Amino acid sequence: MPHQPISILGAGSWGTALALYLSRLGHTVRMWTPNTASAAEMLTDRVNNHYLPGQIFPGSLHPTSNIKEALQDADVILIAVPSAAFREVLTLIQPLISTSIPIIWATKGLDNLKGQFLHETAEEILGKTRSYAVLSGPSFAREVAIGLPTAAVIASIDSSFANELLNYFNSSHFRIYLSTDVIGVEIGGVVKNVLAIATGIADGMKLGANARSALITRGLAEMTRLGLALGGQYETFTGLAGLGDLVLTCTDNQSRNRRFGLALGEGKKTDIAEKEIGQVVEGKLNAEQILQLAQKVSVEMPITEAVCEILRGKASPKEAMQHLLSRSPKTEH
């Protein structure tokens, strides 16, 4: 489906990577950033030097800081901003778009104001009759930008929209799988960030490969318990948006959340660790919200709770890990 106009809202590493990928497929892409200086620099240099240096923009990729220009003639709007900005961006575009234009987001997280799922925020601001979808899965921005093989999931309850997006996105090096489990895919995308902080902490403390493997495995159990309690499907958590994204984020230092955890495990303070990352650490933003969701549905999430204790300053990484290891023995499930 070549030459379809797409609006991408967000020009960080992930938004830029998706803009590069889709424009290389032949789509016309307008990529919006609220930063006028950044947009001007990208227009002049034809590259996003801050987030993805060296990846030259195709002629069909048009950066802009004008939101009306970004939305002009778009067949699809793709949102790729941090979760803390998701509500703000939807509120910005609501009076500017028709009720029929569909929305897909590649944001992983929860609503910053209400702690709800992003699809709930989208329906609250833009209405429930519009077609929505979420893009998730194990996909580091840099690897997508340079064309390395990637597999991802697009979830939507609108099967015709999902199949349309399959035509937009799918290629020989970016394989798309379809799902109807929007809640499960969103849960996977938010919980894995907190678990990546936990595994980063353990690795920063040099607790070894055994501990890392245990945290990933028991973290998957936490994710699955919460997901099932909130209406997700079991298969989602053993697939790309669950286990796949969890393994990626917990084991590779391209992950901001893992690097943040590494810094904490090495003894650095939270604000220093976050400053060194230089980008949004979604797991830090959403950890408390995830724990509150779990408490509402009476789901135990001890690893998530340990991360929250560290972020609150109520436990050191050593104390939190000792508490995890000293929990009463139980049957694995």
The catalytic site residues sit at 192
The answer for 245, left when phi > 0, alpha when psi is -120 to 50, beta otherwise, is: alpha
Burial of 287 (0-12, 13-18, 19+ CB in 10 A): buried
d(CA 153, CA 243): 12
* Residue with token string 């109807």: 180
DSSP state string for 11-27: -SHHHHHHHHHHHHTT-
Q: Are 31 and 40 in contact (CB under 8 A)?
A: no
User: Could you tell me the two tokens for 246?
Assistant: 């969890």
- What distance in Å separates the CA atoms of residue 230 and residue 262, rounded to the nearest whole number? 30
Those residues with Cβ within 8 angstroms of residue 312's Cβ, 6 or more apart along the chain or in another chain: none
DSSP 307: H
Quote the distance between the C-alpha of residue 134 and its chain's center.
10
Question: What are the strands of the beta sheet with 5-9, ordered from one edge?
Answer: 61-64, 28-32, 5-9, 76-79, 103-105, 132-136, 150-155, 174-179
From residue 278, alpha-carbon distances to 12, 77, 99, 273 in Å are: 12, 27, 36, 9
Q: Provide the 3-class DSSP secondary structure of residue 35.
A: coil
Strands 132-136 and 103-105: parallel
Specify the 3-state DSSP secondary structure of 5: strand
Residue carrying structure tokens 């939270």: 270
